[in-house]
Structures are given as C-alpha cells and as structure tokens.
C-alpha cells in the first residue's frame, strides 16, 4: 500500500493492489469454510486441522492459478509461456497466505493453551476480523466517510458471519 501526496500537498488515498487483495479475501473466505468444517469432537488434531486449512488453501491456490491461466489463454487466443504460469502463481499466492493466517490460532492448541474447538472458533473470529478490516480498507481507498467505512466493515464481516453460520448449521 503506497500513499503519495497530491499536487496540493494533501495526502491521497492509499493505493492497494486490488487483485492481490481480492485473492487474500478469497483465501480468507475459503479458509473459513475449511475451519468451520473441521469437527474438533471427532478425533481431529491441531496438526491435522492446520493441514486441512493450509493444504486446502494450497490446493485452491493451484486450482485458481490454473483457471486463471486457461481463462487467459482463451481470452488472449495464444499459447502461454512459463512467465504466465509464474505470474498466475505469484498473483494467487495471497490465497495461501490467508490460509496460513487462519491457521495461526491453532498454535495455541499445540502449546496446550486452548482446546482445538476454542482455537477453531478463534480462527473463525480472525477470518471475520480480516473481512471487517478489508471493508474498512476499501472505504479508506475510496475516500469514504467514517460512517460509510464502518458500514463497509459490517457488511464485509457479515459475509464471514454468514459463512460461519451456514457451515455450523450444516456440520454441527
């Protein structure tokens, strides 16, 4: 995120790489689906839960990069090069980063501080918090007023609450 002054000396809205932000949001939402789908009461371990979240994010990363490549080949009508593959993988990497971030609370289970169930709820909370912060960021970048930024945060966090609610209703 870069912030540059305008000609008048005022600070312009920060520039954010929207594509990478989009990939991080996508990774957060898909990671949250994985988190709430893990049933701590049926013999799941913290390490197994981390593997589901992070390996799942990596699988989504590869699938997303692949779909991006094929879409680009179709849209551009040309064969792709190794450079195109690298760009697709690097551009989609925030999906994996989001999965890693959501897995961090599970370290508390490994340390004996939290139960696996508590750590999974904490991971869900982290996901909702990330979505809320991204909503605020969207408002900052588009120079919204603070009430609009709060509204964007609530709407974005609401998506996270819906993901958690649907998954809890289906799996528990």
* Distance separating the N- and C-terminal Cα atoms of the chain: 40
pLDDT of 135-164, one tens digit each? Answer: 999 999 999 999 999 999 999 999 999 988
According to the model, what pLDDT value does residue 94 have?
97
Q: With respect to residue 6, please indicate whether it lies within any of the assigned structural domains.
A: no
- Alpha-carbon distance 114 to 103, whole Å? 14
Domain ranges, residue 27: 18-171
Residue 77 domain-assigned (yes or no): yes
Mean pLDDT of 109-129: 96
Cβ neighbours of residue 68 closer than 8 Å, sequence gap 6 or more: 88, 91, 92
Q: Which residues of 150-172 are buried (b: 16+ CB within 10 A; e: fewer)?
A: eebbeebbebbeebbeebeeeee
Whether the predicted pLDDT of 171 surpasses 80: no
User: How does pLDDT run across 37-78, given as a tens digit for each residue?
Assistant: 888 777 889 999 999 999 999 999 999 999 999 998 999 999
Q: What is the pTM of this model?
A: 0.86
Residue 2 lies in a domain: no
Cα–Cα distance, 90 to 106 (Å, whole number):
26
Q: Number of folded domains in the chain?
A: 1
pLDDT of residue 168: 80
Assigned domain for 167 exists: yes
Residue 172 has pLDDT above 70, yes or no: no
């Amino acid at each position: 995120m870069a912030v540059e002054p305008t000609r008048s000396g005022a600070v312009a809205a920060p520039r954010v790489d929207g594509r990478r932000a989009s990939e991080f949001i996508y990774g957060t939402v898909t990671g949250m689906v994985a988190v709430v789908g893990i049933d701590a009461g049926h013999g799941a371990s913290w390490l197994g839960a981390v593997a589901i979240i992070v390996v799942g994010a990596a699988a989504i990363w590869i699938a997303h990069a692949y779909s991006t490549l094929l879409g680009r080949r179709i849209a551009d009508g040309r064969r792709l090069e190794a450079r195109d593959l690298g760009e697709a993988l690097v551009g989609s990497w925030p999906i994996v980063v989001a999965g890693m971030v959501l897995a961090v609370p599970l370290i508390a289970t490994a340390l004996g501080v939290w139960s696996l169930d508590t750590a999974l709820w904490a991971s869900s909370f982290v996901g909702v918090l990330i979505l809320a912060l991204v909503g605020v960021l969207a408002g900052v970048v588009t120079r919204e007023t603070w009430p609009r930024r709060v509204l964007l945060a609530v709407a974005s966090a609401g998506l996270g609450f819906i993901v958690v609610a649907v998954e809890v209703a289906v799996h528990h």
